[in-house]
Amino acid sequence: MRWKIYPKPDPQKTADLAKALGVDAKISSLLVQRGIESYDEAKAYFRPSLEELHDPFLMKDMDRAVSRIEAAIASEENILVYGDYDVDGTTSVALVSSYLKTYYPNVHTYIPDRYDEGYGISYKGIDFAADNEFSLIIALDCGIKAMEKVTYASKKGIDFIICDHHRPGPEIPQAVAVLDPKRSDCEYPFKDLCGCGVGFKLIHALSQHKQDPDDRIKKGIPVELMLYLDLVATAIGADIVPIIGENRILAYYGLKVINSNPRNGFKAILKQVNKDVLTITDVVFQIAPRINAAGRMKHGNYAVTLLTETDINLSVAYATEIEVFNSNRKEADKKITEEALTQIEEKGEEKRLTTVVYDENWHKGVIGIVASRLTETYYRPTLVFTKSGDKLAASARSVKGFDVYNALEACSEYIEQFGGHMYAAGLTLLEKDYEKFKAKFEKVVSETIDPKLLIPEIKINTELDLNEITPKFYRVLKQFAPFGPGNMTPVFITQSLKDTGWGKCVGEDKTHLRLTVKQRNSNQFAAIGFGLGEKKEVACKGEPFKAAYVIDENQWQGNVSLQLRLKDITA
């Protein structure tokens, strides 16, 4: 791994902020690194305010979206709330549909089948709307590139409102309204909302529109909308959008809802998760995979049903069903990852700069997870393909700093359809073009990637002595949360560490490393390094070593203590 230590921030700024806040200089240094240099900026960071949320009507086409929905309600039209089958899509559909149903009954939901229809808006979904007399479709977390499908719907007398956050192509669909902060002609101040975040902006605008103009809340959000923030926080975590600006505010308050007054669907999931207080990390690794498992292994409708159910007993039954899907997902994920690694080794492709693998029998629902696993193993841009009808479908994952979306765009001559982000994308192509695409993708990446990006990087904020790690220091550090892109958990480096003699490899396959470390005359700290079993020789030979780590809490048999979660160690 490459260790990159952030430059030390301006000492005067650090000292001034430490004095203004009454905090340790190491804390103020971390804040200045994050661009926080004044008392007011620190207050906004540590105490996010709903009053800092932007007016939803600043988003391009929001007025048109609200007018069309209100017209549909006035004329008693049937409204179809349509969304993708992942966490962002299903939470978006749950959010918008359940809000509309609080005052209008003619609302139905639609999630495309991952295997039959694929990603995004489908002709089958439009035909369903036409056959069932829906004249308005609100599409969430998808649709920004669905030019032909929106035109097709229009010919059937169906209007579209698109709420998306993906990058638009050169054209915008001819929908009644297209809400996407990434539109080049959209002046909305915050560009990094997830799909559910755009959906939340829509219901916020609808809520404002229902009020008398003189009574409209110009700052903050109405109390009744707070209950939807658990969905938004879950989507923010699962979709790996930057947790800065509005996303930080929405995630902060969404976590409060999850921990104090969660909807019944979350209550049912939380019965299976043995934690008192959930962080955004817990949402990402505990709640999100379960919601995702429905769309991966069965159908995304199961997730929407769970998230909108008001009867706790039914919620528990649905959550139990989804838990089975999640167990099946884990088994498939493990099996396919092993098969993919074997395929790479047998074909002698370890030296390539990309990983591209294919098997027609791999489960389409888990190829994205497998792509992530392979990226962790070989650390290079990765695509995992499987058969999908008469085409091949793939999930793409990238390494930090490399835009896989742009790389795919450069290979578009062999691609039928693709979409996504810098670090994750999906695509389909014809089987006859697979080998040509594989060669072109390797060529494009080889010519454009900086070789150093193929070595994982740890960004280290600052150096600490173990004696500086106190309960008070950690209490302040915890208030930097919620963590995520743009506001990552602080990473520290400590030198001259020694294991006290208790170091060993742990875990079922002995791939993790557990140490008890001290530094000169410091207190001892437990340290755990997941996947660092091979570093045992470095840590346990009696010589000093240095470690990069984050500080967290270890809960064991009712006791809570601080521990070092190791990212890497070196002599």
Looking at the structure of the chain, the number of domains it has is 3
Which candidate, 226, 239, 166, 207, places its Cα nearest to that of 62?
207
Q: What is the CATH number of the domain that holds 491?
A: 2.40.50.460
Looking at the structure, tell me whether residues 103 and 242 fall in a common domain.
Answer: yes
Q: Within a domain: residue 25?
A: no
Task: Give the end of a domain, one of 320, 355, 371.
Answer: 320
In whole angstroms, give the CA distance from residue 220 to residue 218: 7
Question: Per residue in 358-412, pLDDT tens?
Answer: 999 999 989 999 999 999 999 999 999 999 889 999 999 999 999 999 999 999 9
In angstroms, rounded to a whole number, what is the distance separating the alpha carbons of residues 79 and 192?
Answer: 27
Q: CA 541, 544, 550 angle in degrees (round to 5)?
A: 105
Q: Which residues contact 269 (CB under 8 A, 6 or more apart)?
A: 286, 287, 290, 291, 306, 319, 322
Asked if residue 399 is part of any domain, the answer here is yes
pLDDT > 90? residue 79:
yes
- Whether residue 381 is preceded by a cis peptide bond, meaning omega within 30 degrees of 0, is no
pLDDT (tens digit per residue) in 195-236: 999 999 999 999 998 776 555 555 688 889 999 999 999 999
Clarify whether residues 556 and 464 are in a common domain.
Answer: yes
What's the distance, CA 451 to chain centroid? Answer: 26
Q: Distances in Å between the alpha carbon of 200 and those of 22, 42, 53, 218?
A: 37, 26, 11, 16
Reported as type and span, the H/E element at residue 523 is none
Question: Is residue 414 over pLDDT 80?
Answer: yes
Do 309 and 171 fall within a single domain? yes
Domain harbouring 437, CATH code: 3.10.310.30
CB 140 within 8 A of CB 156: no
Write out pLDDT tens, residues 46-63.
Answer: 999 999 999 999 999 999
Q: Are 484 and 421 found together in one domain?
A: no
Counting Cα atoms < 13 Å in the Cβ hemisphere of 387 gives: 6
Range of the domain at 95: 56-320
Amino acid identity of residue 160, one-letter, is F
List, for residues 464-502, the tens digit of each pLDDT value. 999 999 999 999 999 999 999 999 999 999 999 999 988
pLDDT mean over 451-456: 94
Q: Same structural domain for residues 312 and 361?
A: no
CA–CA separation, 367 and 352 (whole Å): 20
517: enclosing H helix or E strand: strand 512-518
- pLDDT value for 212: 60
High-pLDDT (> 90) share of the chain, %: 87
Sign of the torsion angle spanned by Cα atoms 516, 519, 525, 531: negative
Predicted pLDDT of residue 548: 98
